[in-house]
Amino acid sequence: MALTGVLRPGHIVLRVLDLDEAVRHYTQVIGLFETGRDDEGRVFLKAWDENDHHSVVLREAEQAGMDYFGWKVDSEQTLDDLAVKLEASGLVSDTRWAPEGEQLLTGRRFQFTIPTGHRMEIYATKKTLGCMTGYDNPDPWPDGLRGMAPSRFDHALLYGRDIDANLTLFRDVLGFNLTEQVVGPDRKFLIGVFLTCSNKAHDIAFIRSDEDNRLHHASFILGGWHEVLHAADIISKRDVSLDIGPTRHGITRGETIYFFDPSGNRNEVFSGGYIWYPDRPVITWHDTEIGRAIFYHDRKLNEAFLNVTT
Amino acid sequence: MPRISMLDTGETYQCRDGETVLAGMERLGRAGIPVGCRGGGCGVCKIRVISGEYDGRKMSRACITREEEEAGLVLACRVVPRFDLQVEIVGGMRKCIMKHAPHHDQ
Ligand code: FES
Ligand SMILES: [Fe+2]
């Protein structure tokens, strides 16, 4: 198996101001499926093609934003090994082992805070429910889809200060690779880093900002440009708060639309991108071209992209 | 229909019944209050209500503290005017993305 260690984004836990309103958004507008609730009232959701019990968790809170982001690793042994490496790295703080079952139907988890202040965790085990088409002679998509109907939770973009230390942590400790970077006038100062633990254009991205622990967006993958347009129709039809799109990202080549959940957390649905192999050179965007890097068609950044985070 | 007066710009506009201060401004194509998430989460639409009554929905505590709320600070996307309101713009786009290392700043 060539893909080892950290396998993929496992779950994102989002804070919402009104749980019922949020559940309606994530199930009817985006089209995830509710798979459970825990004693604290948190709601667990998954997309139709996902095997594991959940990829999105919603928690009602006094403020919007992200509680934490979880990475699935390939085995309990890797989990132990990475926990030791993380502790030894000096790059993470507030480390903690969360016992099995503390998160619904999920095994033990190792939690830590990364240099930009975001809370993250790794885990190896989660109950599987299977995808909605099954795995024996499956149809390409299941009946009963609704909303935008992404096939899975894909990545997040986070804002914070010390993205250099994040890069070291993800690349040198967790085994991620840098796929694309945005650099400043000296061609060295990092404005943005796009990282993969697999062979996607990104599994996580960080943009430098003057405030730590901010969520820019949580993103879900669609089957193509036509589905992105369909998502845009749903956004208008249901009067969802639109940010920007449909458009194209220069970075990662994704076809995209951004919108907000009812608590102001930004969501993205997108398609496209490319397959990243380890021998592919890093793509570099210069700050003079940051407009087309982010929004390839408009070729300029909008204020909200830079400033609106939760 | 309640009328909103923006003290900063001197502009006024009418909200439909049940419409938020921010939604009314956007529907009329007016500018002034910065528009972000429209969900009470990001804080860019922060305003101070100088006079008038309104109903407010839950706002992210990261954007409006309890003390601020008591002082009449609200998120324009979460308040529905009951009667005419006089407001002052507090929020803004802070350009928080950093393009230069701090020591490069003049
Ligand atoms: S626009 Fe984000 S809080 Fe009002
Ligand atoms: Fe994205």
User: Which range (A186-190, A201-205, B38-42) has the least confidence?
Assistant: A186-190
Q: Six-digit token pair at A296?
A: 């390839």
Q: What is the pLDDT of residues A76-88, one digit of tens each?
A: 999 999 999 999 9
Q: A 106-165 residues with CB below 8 A of B?
A: 159, 161
| Residues 15-54 in B contacting A (C-alpha not used; CB under 8 Å) | 34-42, 44
CATH, range A152-307: 3.10.180.10
Q: Which two tokens stand for residue B76?
A: 């324009």
**Which CATH number among 3.10.20.30, 3.30.70.20, 3.30.300.30, 3.40.50.1360 corresponds to the domain B3-99?**
3.10.20.30
> Which one, of B97, B87, B79, lies nearest residue B33 by Cα?
B87
Say how many Å lie between the CA of residue A200 and the centre of ligand 2: 12
Residues of chain A with CATH 3.10.180.10: 6-123, 152-307
What percent of chain A has pLDDT above 90? 96
Binding-site residues, ligand 1, Cβ < 6 A: A 264; B 35-38, 40-45, 63, 75, 77
Indicate which of B93, B96, B104, B105 best probes the interface with A, i.e. most A CBs within 10 Å of its own CB.
B96
User: Which CATH architecture group holds A6-123?
Assistant: Roll (3.10)
Interface mutation target, options A191, A211, A307, chain B, most CBs of B under 10 Å: A307
Band the pLDDT of B9: cuts 50, 70, 90: confident
Beta strand ranges found along A135-291 (DSSP E): 152-160, 177-183, 190-196, 204-208, 214-221, 242-248, 254-260, 266-272, 283-286
User: What interface predicted TM-score (ipTM) does this complex get?
Assistant: 0.94
Q: Which residue of B has its CA nearest to A260?
A: B37
pLDDT tens per residue across span A229-252 = 999 999 999 999 999 999 999 999
Alpha helix stretches (DSSP H) within A169-245: 225-237
Q: Which residues of A touch B61 (CB under 8 A)?
A: 62-63
For residue A251, the ligand closest to its alpha carbon is 2
Q: Which residues pair with A18 in a beta bridge?
A: none
Query: B8 versus A88: which is more confidently predicted?
Result: A88
Q: Cβ distance A122 to A74 under 8 Å?
A: no
B80, β-bridge pairs: B55
Return the DSSP state at B34.
-
DSSP labels, B11-33: -EEEPPTT--HHHHHHHTT--SS
What pLDDT, on the 0 to 100 scale, is given for residue A3?
87
In terms of DSSP bridges, do strands B3-6 and B12-14 run parallel, antiparallel, or are they unpaired?
A: antiparallel
Residue from B21, B26, B42, B73 to probe ligand 1 pocket by mutation (most atoms less than 8 Å from CB): B42
Q: pTM of the predicted model, to two decimals?
A: 0.96
Q: What would the pLDDT profile of A130-182 be if each residue is shown by its tens digit?
A: 999 999 999 999 999 999 999 999 999 999 999 999 999 999 999 999 999 99
Question: For residues A306 and A207, what is the distance between their CA atoms, to the nearest angstrom?
Answer: 9
User: CB distance A63–B61 less than 8 Å?
Assistant: yes
Q: Looking at the predicted structure, is the pLDDT value of residue A102 above 80?
A: yes
Nearest to A108 by CA among A119, A100, A96, A116: A100
